[in-house]
Amino acid sequence: MFMSLGIVLLSATLNLNSHLPPLQPWQGASLSLLQQDGLLTTDFELSSGESSPNYEQTNAFMKRLVAANPTQFQSIKIGESDQGRDINMLLAVEDSQFSPAMMKNNNKPTLLIQAGIHAGEIDGKDAMFMLLRDIATGKRRDILSKVNILFIPILNVDGHERRSQFNRINQRGPLAMGFRTNAQNLNLNRDYTKLDTPEVRSVLKVINDFSPSLYVDVHVTDGADYQYDITYGFNPSFASDAPAIAKVLEEQFSPVINDKLTKQGHIPGSLVFVMNKRNLQQGLAGWVASPRFSNGWGDIKGLPTILVENHSLKPYKQRVLGTYVFIDGVIDALSKQHKALEKAIETERHFYPTELVVERGYSPKPDYISFKGIKYKQFDSALSGHQEVKYLGEAIEYDKLPIYWQKEIKMKVQVPHAFYIPPQYGAIVEKLSLHGIEVTKLLEPQDLKTLTQLKVTSHEFAKKPFEGRFRVSAEFEELQLKESPVTKGWYKVSTQQPYSELVTHLLHPAAPDSFFAWGDFLSIFQRTEYVENYALEPYARKMLKESPKLALAFDKRISEDSEFAKSDEQRLEWLYEKTPYYDQAYLKYPILMSYQRN
Ligand SMILES: [Zn+2]
């Protein structure tokens, strides 16, 4: 029994990728980065570029790196996963300046590179181990004279140890790879606003402590077949909340990175998503990341963030080498352009908008781009009963492929001058602090003349959970408060601060990645005090008698709304709502807004 199981698994390994589209042969100059033996040869290199080390082996290699170069490398624990694994980070700084303060003051930009947020997409870990090895052995002495490096080899450490050959059906290697989500089955790359996971919370702490100049999040994409092996992007300047930063990345970073990749035999491209997976020629989808994603969060926070998506159909070795060259290009660009980038960051830090786009949709009108595709044919599948696509492994150039950008404005909100949070929402305040947002605890009552409260007028809960939450969407009406309830112990969050846009997106309940939309305020939909009909009936009769205006409104509602007229429940509810006994907090968003400087 045991033997035959072994044979089955072996043949599965040999044929592991036979279901994937044919490959184009590749012999890039970056192959010369690999070493076969010698000091600090990585587990990836020892496996001829087929495998990636497990968690223990990864930690062991980190220790060897630090031991080989203790004056420049240090490994620290930045957090702990749900299953109790340490999340580690390697700091690489010339002249052993390890404290955050010294890192900020050594006049070099700091680059934060994160691998394995989706643990099966682990290219960044093995690429960075080679690059750090080359620093440690003196081959790349130049790098730390240009930048400080923060490197998280595996963010999703628990998912990383859910290792299998069968975790990603569309991906060519490594032989065993981790799983997408964490131990609680949460996708870390949807957690950047709600902050449910210890992993993303650790990253935000790192960003608060070290203030990196640039954040790189390394993934492997699924989707269509095409020639590009290394694709990457950020929200484009025309649909960005930090357009000054996006412009620097577009104009001063991308050319340097692309040049380096091209010279080393790789084909760099922009992030590729398609409108119709069965027919690429219908056009590309120009995705603009919302703040739940690392790069969308970076964009709204004004932290330059690049999302790397290596192409899953390219072999592991090629992808890892491409990632090495990509990071090398980023380091080059950052060392040359960090003044321009810092200036753009400063510009965005001082921009306090009066309105904010919180939701975008696809433009019906395409732009056109040239695109390095792979030929495909369509066929009728007896299995799906639908037309399916088969990629043929041959290059094809599209001169004019439509791309539909998410640049249509679907919703925007007015930005208040400040938000006021009641003291019972300390958990929200803690999350805001993790986001790097300044919150002031009020020490005395505030006589605020203009306060707005939003009341839910209609709402809908999601039919099924998403990321462990039941999301809610709602419409609101504005109520102007006559008296200010804001007193000692409340929190004030001004929008006249560096992360103004992020403050608004998190706290304005109409924004799709706000705490409200993620279900942090579900208790306002709950009524906990009730009325007995025998008490309401005489009370309401008296109330109508005393207020002819109210009586008229009641009669009008009955004559105009037959459903209301027929429903005893609705009629009594309407009356109950008009009594002073009614729960005044029901359906009211508890965070108040002030649109004027009070
Ligand atoms: Zn991913």
Span 157-213, pLDDT tens digits: 999 999 999 999 999 999 999 999 999 999 999 999 999 999 999 999 999 999 999
Q: How far apart are the CA of 525 and the centre of ligand 1, in A?
A: 35
SS (H, E, C) 231-249: EEECCCHHHCCCHHHHHHH
Percent of the chain past pLDDT 70, that is, above it, reads: 97
Q: How far apart are the CA of 203 and the centre of ligand 1, in A?
A: 16
Q: Is 253 helix (H, G, I), strand (E, B) or coil?
A: helix
Q: Average of pLDDT values for 103-123? A: 93
Lowest mean pLDDT among 36-50, 95-109, 211-225, 442-456: 95-109
Position 15 scores a pLDDT of 66
Judge residue 337's burial from the number of C-beta atoms within 10 Å of its C-beta, 0-12 exposed, 13-18 middle, 19 or more buried: buried
Q: How far apart are the CA of 218 and the centre of ligand 1, in A?
A: 8
Q: Average of pLDDT values for 261-273? A: 97
Q: How far apart are the CA of 104 and the centre of ligand 1, in A?
A: 30
Position 105 scores a pLDDT of 77
Q: How far apart are the CA of 349 and the centre of ligand 1, in A?
A: 29
Cα–Cα distance, 496 to 442 (Å, whole number): 17
Q: How far apart are the CA of 471 and the centre of ligand 1, in A?
A: 22
Number of H helices, E strands in the chain: 18, 19
pLDDT band at 573 (very low <50, low <70, confident <90, very high): very high
Kindly list the strands in the beta sheet with 451-461, ordered across the sheet, starting from the edge strand earlier in the chain: 440-441, 491-494, 418-421, 592-594, 451-461, 472-481
Q: How far apart are the CA of 219 and the centre of ligand 1, in A?
A: 4
Place of tokens 């380096």: 260
Position 217 scores a pLDDT of 98
Q: How far apart are the CA of 580 and the centre of ligand 1, in A?
A: 53
Q: How far apart are the CA of 307 and the centre of ligand 1, in A?
A: 9
Tokens describing residue 172:
């060519």
Q: How far apart are the CA of 538 and the centre of ligand 1, in A?
A: 62
pTM, to two decimals: 0.94
Q: How far apart are the CA of 187 and the centre of ligand 1, in A?
A: 9
**Which amino acid does the sequence have at 439?**
V
Question: Could you read off the pLDDT of 8-64 as tens digits, one per residue?
Answer: 444 444 467 899 999 989 999 999 999 999 999 999 999 999 999 999 999 999 999
Contacts of 150 (CB under 8 A, 6+ apart): 89, 90, 91, 92, 110, 111, 112, 113, 206, 210, 212
Distance of CA 106 to the CA centre of its chain: 30
Judge residue 338's burial from the number of C-beta atoms within 10 Å of its C-beta, 0-12 exposed, 13-18 middle, 19 or more buried: buried
Q: How far apart are the CA of 319 and the centre of ligand 1, in A?
A: 14
Cα–Cα distance, 257 to 55 (Å, whole number): 30
Across the chain, mean pLDDT equals: 95
Query: In whole angstroms, how far apart are CA 396 and each of 99, 221, 276, 375, 400?
Result: 51, 20, 18, 6, 12
Position 4 scores a pLDDT of 45
Q: Which of 444 and 99 is assigned the larger pLDDT?
A: 444
Position 3 scores a pLDDT of 44
Q: How far apart are the CA of 148 and the centre of ligand 1, in A?
A: 25
Cα–Cα distance, 264 to 321 (Å, whole number): 9
Does residue 274 carry a pLDDT above 80? Answer: yes
Cα–Cα distance, 539 to 128 (Å, whole number): 73
Backbone angles phi, psi at 261, to 5 degrees: -65, -45
- % helix / strand / coil in the chain, to the nearest 5? 35, 25, 40
Position 7 scores a pLDDT of 46
Q: Average of pLDDT values for 372-384? A: 96
Neighbours of 19 (CB within 10 A): 8
Q: How far apart are the CA of 228 and the centre of ligand 1, in A?
A: 17
Q: How far apart are the CA of 221 and the centre of ligand 1, in A?
A: 6
Position 103 scores a pLDDT of 77
Q: How far apart are the CA of 120 and the centre of ligand 1, in A?
A: 8
Does residue 570 carry a pLDDT above 90? Answer: yes
Neighbours of 4 (CB within 10 A): 8
Q: How far apart are the CA of 272 and the centre of ligand 1, in A?
A: 13
pLDDT band at 598 (very low <50, low <70, confident <90, very high): low
Q: How far apart are the CA of 282 and the centre of ligand 1, in A?
A: 24
